[in-house]
Structure 1
Amino acid sequence: MPSSLPSTLLFLSAGIFLAITGTLDAITFLAVIGCAVCSLLTITERTELAYIGGLALISISLILQAVLESKCITCLKADTLILAAVICLTPFQNFKLPAQIMSAVMSVVMFFAVVTVVPVESESTDIKPHGFGQYLEVQETSGEKLTLNTAENPVLLFSPSCSACEKALNKVMEQDADGTKWKLVLSSSKEKDIKKANELLKRIGYTGTLYTYDWHGSVPIVIYTDENDSTIVSHSVDKTIPLL
């Protein structure tokens, strides 16, 4: 069995994962191609190029997320698979000590990226503390400001660059496709993000109103105020369904 087989399989897994769960756009396509190229390099025992390629894929992913101010959980999961492939390749590098240092640094960077973005899996997906209250100050895409009452309608905060958000949207839309019983809020007021959101909503058939609210945390999140006047913020969109 080739010594690079684990890395080959991990690169392939990252590419397949992105292709299946990622948003269909040019960046995702290039990332899938990059994973395939790295996998091919490991098969041909060109481990140094595969190692550098893996580090480059992770770095570009994190930089793009920072520049675009987009927290992509799907991307981070793929980055974690790529990092595992890079770590597996580390012992086979001619520049062993620098490779060990780079792998360690990238592992620390990925750890903090995942901790600050990906929801922690537990029995409860509620976020505490969250800083939200019953009333949420938002804007319509025209720029007009208004206040949403989360005791009257639950709010779903999302990003068009997040594949988990699209799944959450589809779940809620099965109950109410035009947003009469819930409110849809984009986690950015930037024109480019509004454009991407409108394209996504048109594609999946949402016919309600889109609001914006600048939020730099992980998405999707559901915000609602219960009968005890407690405002709940959760990563679980399933909590919204009984409220509709």
Structure 2
Amino acid sequence: MRYYGGLFFISAAVLLAATKSPDIFTVAAVAACALMAALSSTRHAVWSAIGGALLIGASLALQSALSYRCTDCIKADLLIMAGVIYLAVTESGGMKKSLRVMAAVATAMLAASALLHYPVSTGFSQEEARGGRISQFISVANDGEGALLDTAVRPALFFSPSCGACRSVLEKLAAADPEGNGWAPVLTGGSPGEGRDLLDSNGYLGVMSWSEWDAAVPALIITRDGQTRALYGQEEILRAVRGDSS
């Protein structure tokens, strides 16, 4: 039965190999997943579970250290986590209790990282937002005065000071375009003072607007070729603002 746990590690390796560029971190992670899969079908399956938990910890630590939010990495971490949990549950030896505690701790770490650093929902679903509750022109407030923001001219980035993923996106956008010539930050949630402080801390020098937004953040509202879309996820947002994709 233990070899079933190895399927989760193999799935994680395949996912990383198919979606990530072959840099040193990806190659190391794929090799480690393959090793954990091989160990899971032997009498050393305990080490497979321990190694899986260490892989998750290393992944989260690297993402935090590099200020890089990788959704594909998190998907792989979830598959590895499933393998760790499976092996911990099926373990019947003396390490049973320790493995289950370890699996619980790793699960808590992964959940905390997802809540702190990845898009969070503040209301209706992303599908509803994509389905027509967004438009090219967004009503915003600037210093107490109403205005219309044209997302065909400048894409609008909805953000919240309490969102860890927003901080990472803002840092990179402000570094690339501190004047906000190609994007417009729009605060939703939190006080204007908190939003301004966050932008200032990342070197943003342009105007901040605020408006209501009931979907996940960070979200980039962008209009290209007459079509208005909501984009989620750091990599997709950065590509769109840079003009790598529409």
- Regarding TM over 0.5, the answer is yes
Contact 2:219 2:232 in 1 (8 A): yes
Q: After the TM superposition, which parts of structure 1 deviate over 6 Å for at least 4 consecutive aligned residues?
A: 132-135
- Aligned pairs for 1:67-216 (under 5 A) are 67-90=65-88, 91-92=90-91, 94-116=94-116, 117-118=118-119, 122-125=126-129, 151-155=151-155, 187-188=171-172, 214=202
2:15 equivalent to 1:11 = no
What is the number of equivalent residue pairs in this alignment? Answer: 171
Contact 1:4 1:45 in 2 (8 A): no
Contact 2:36 2:51 in 1 (8 A): yes
| CA positional deviation for 1:57 | 0.5
2:22 equivalent to 1:24 = yes
- Aligned pairs for 1:209-224 (under 5 A) are 214=202, 221-224=219-222
Change in Cα spacing, 1:28 to 1:13, as seen in structure 2 (3 Å) is same
- The gaps in structure 2 that reach 5 residues or longer are 131-137, 142-148, 158-168, 184-198, 204-215, 224-228, 241-245
- The gaps in structure 1 that reach 5 residues or longer are 127-131, 136-148, 158-184, 195-208, 226-231
Distance 1:8 1:22 in 2: 21
Contact 1:150 1:223 in 2 (8 A): no
* Structure 2 counterpart of 1:106, one-letter code: A
Distance 2:28 2:218 in 1: 25
Contact 1:125 1:235 in 2 (8 A): no
| CA positional deviation for 1:113 | 2.1
Q: Please list the CA deviations of residues 87-121 of structure 1 after superposition, one character each: whole Å capped at 9, or x if unmatched.
A: 01113153222221111121122122223415666
Change in Cα spacing, 1:223 to 1:186, as seen in structure 2 (3 Å) is same
Distance 2:7 2:101 in 1: 23
* SS of alignment partner, residue 51 of structure 1: helix
Q: Please list the CA deviations of residues 19-73 of structure 1 after superposition, one character each: whole Å capped at 9, or x if unmatched.
A: 0012331111110011000001112231111011101100000000111111111
Q: What is the percent sequence identity of the aligned residues?
A: 29
